[in-house]
Amino acid sequence: MGTGLSSYTRGIRDGLPIAIGYFAVSFSLGILMRNSGLDPLQGLVMSLVNNTSAGEAAAVGIIADGGSYLEMAINQAVINIRYFLMSAALCVHLDPGLSLGRRMLVGFDVTDEIFATLIGQKQPVSEYFAYGLASITIPGWAAGTVLGIVFGDILPADIVSALSVALYAMFIAVVIPPARKDGRILAIVLVSMLGSWLFTLEPIASYISEGVKIIILTLVISALAAVIWPLKEDEE
């Protein structure tokens, strides 16, 4: 267990900078939750059990719209489908002898940043390292969410309005740099934004909610892109 403990502490240490980054993102998410009427406890529970920025941001919109549970389920499956790819890739990096129960535990906290950190490790990746990462990043994510909701209530209205764009600005910071380097990504980003805008026009907007819009556009545009520009073996 000695190596288990040292891997765990290393996970906590490597997870700290991720946790700080998460705090900023989830604080912005908390502001959006507060604008949609969620209370701090609801935000805390949502962040503790989900650990996903885009998924939670979309969920907040669906809850505010009074969307159905089915819409929520399909929406979350589509938005978070990228984790499917990450978990599948992660399989190869874990100890092949890792029991089913332990695999299921590691699977609880697969996020973009955790995945990137795990696959950067020497194989096989220690499960305890993964638990260390989770132990520090999940509380960071949850704390930011709660404080975002609380401060959204305390701060003056004009400051809260300005903070409401923070999470979207972070999403832009995620998509723009790769779009600059890769014309395919740029085309995808532009088409997605255009499509998203078209869905807000009447009469479409009256029939299609935000949650359904994300489902339709994600499936259609990603599938078209995959047909037009299939990835080569070494691209990922």
Task: Kindly state the smallest distance separating residue 139's Cβ from another protein, in Å.
Answer: 17
Q: Should residue 169 be labelled a site residue for another protein when binding is judged by CB under 8 A? A: yes
| Interaction pattern, residues 172-211, with another protein; x per rule: CB under 8 A | xxxxxxxxx----x--xx--xx-xxx--x-----------
Residue (6 or 105) nearer to another protein, CB: 105
Task: Kindly state the smallest distance separating residue 106's Cβ from another protein, in Å.
Answer: 7
Q: Should residue 49 be labelled a site residue for another protein when binding is judged by CB under 8 A? A: yes
Q: Should residue 9 be labelled a site residue for another protein when binding is judged by CB under 8 A? A: no
* Nearest-5° Cα angle at 51, 62 to 92: 125
Provide the terminal-to-terminal Cα distance of the chain, rounded to the nearest Å. Answer: 35
**Of these, 12, 24, 150, 155, which contacts another protein (CB under 8 A)?**
24
Residue (5 or 231) nearer to another protein, CB: 231
Task: Kindly state the smallest distance separating residue 167's Cβ from another protein, in Å.
Answer: 8
**Of these, 3, 97, 100, 207, which contacts another protein (CB under 8 A)?**
100
**Of these, 58, 130, 136, 143, which contacts another protein (CB under 8 A)?**
58
